[in-house]
Amino acid sequence: MTVRSVILFTGHIVDRPGRTPPRFPPSAVPAAAARIADALASLDAGPSDLALTQGAAGGDLLFVEAAQARGVPVQLLQPFDEPRFLAESVLPHGEAWLARYAAARARLGADHPVLAAPAVLGDLAAGDDAYERCNRWLLATALAQHGAALSLIALWDGAGGDGPGGTAHLVRTVGEQAGRVIVIAPQSL
């Protein structure tokens, strides 16, 4: 199947209780879900497109749910094997997010299994960051769809991340590739 456009997503994980200062509080989740769905609608996303993200609790899973609701095939590319990814990026945010992940994963279909960077790309090189490598992998996967338009939806406060390879890194990298970037600022929700 020829892919019309590739839509990447990057964004903040939902805040753990007590995060100071708050960045993406749980109270903003419904508004973020609506804004992500609106962004996909503005791109006229549908079955001839491809959605790429990691699948973390928060923005990633909201994007996956919205993409699946529009019939967009979703591919999850993760920096670690799935059990470690779940332990680090989903489960700390609660059982409800784990249930959402499981439901979204069940809808992926056989053509788009969850892929883990160590299994596909090999061991992480000394000095490389797993999340930064995953961002590069997401972008390379998008660019491998020759002729497909490239868009990035980012749930991002505009600040640097908690470490390397975060949202700011992917926003900058996609911008350098002349892709369309749609930023949803959590503080606007």
> First and final CA of the chain: distance in angstroms?
37
pTM for this prediction: 0.94
Under 8 Å CB-to-CB from 82, ≥6 apart: which residues?
114, 116
Give, in degrees to the nearest 5, the angle at Cα 44 between 39 and 50.
85
Instruction: Give the domains, in start order, of the chain with CATH numbers.
Output: 5-188 (3.40.50.450)
Q: Residue-wise pLDDT tens for the chain (189 aa)?
A: 689 999 999 999 999 888 888 899 999 999 999 999 999 999 999 999 999 999 999 999 999 999 999 999 999 999 999 999 999 999 999 999 999 999 999 999 888 999 999 999 999 999 999 998 999 999 999 999 988 899 999 999 888 765 655 788 888 888 887 678 999 999 898
Beta-strand runs (E) in 55-159: 74-78, 115-116, 149-155
